Structure 1
């Protein structure tokens, strides 16, 4: 699964189920990790705060912040999103729908409409 779709989907799913318990705990853990990644990025921090109330409106501003912060390549963020999605969609988790593999990756681009220029080595 695309890391951006995974993180945004997990944030939206967690925000929709704030009834307490394991889902709420997993959502708060993910949100803390994402907020830490967005630290110092004022517009993205504002968008994250508003995302809980209106994910459709704030999706793109949060996405911009996630792309620019390195959160989408952060194993802790991805694992937290996977853990949350496993709680809200156990069947999808068992089917491997939320798996993202980035082991040993360099210069990773995931998603649509990306531009990248890499220079590895000397």
Structure 2
């Protein structure tokens, strides 16, 4: 998962979690902080960035691709603060985020058997 995908996933998960009464105030606050950081980043770039961010809250699947494009152009994947906030929100929501870009011999799931030979 690259930086843009991480932020988009956190925004979508935060939007969904914010709709329930059982969501803790800490998660709501974490989502609000992430959203505000992303909004400020988008406000300095494309003129319709903030509008698309807001539209993505109501219909995340419809706006996911366009939001991803805008976030990529805005350099959100280089903003360590936003990336840390997105990762933290997903962690707090119970999502497992694994950075496997440099990994060798990855296995996902339970009760697997794997034999690796690296040359």
Please report the TM-score for the alignment, with normalisation by the length of structure 2: 0.73
For residues 36 and 15 of structure 1, what CA distance do their matches in structure 2 show? 18
State whether residues 56 and 63 of structure 2, in contact with CA within 8 Å, keep that contact through their aligned partners in structure 1. Answer: yes
Structure 1: runs of 5 or more not aligned: 102-122
Aligned length in residues = 96
List per-residue Cα deviations over 1:12-43 (Å, max 9, x = no partner).
00000114511111110000110011014222
Q: Of 31, 34, 44, which aligns to 2:35?
A: 31
Query: Partner of 2:6 in structure 1?
Result: 6
TM-score, structure 1 normalization = 0.71
Root mean square deviation of aligned Cα: 1.9
Alpha-carbon distance, 1:53 to partner? 0.8
- Structure 2 spans left out of the alignment, 5+ residues: 102-119
Determine the structure 1 residue equivalent to 2:53.
48
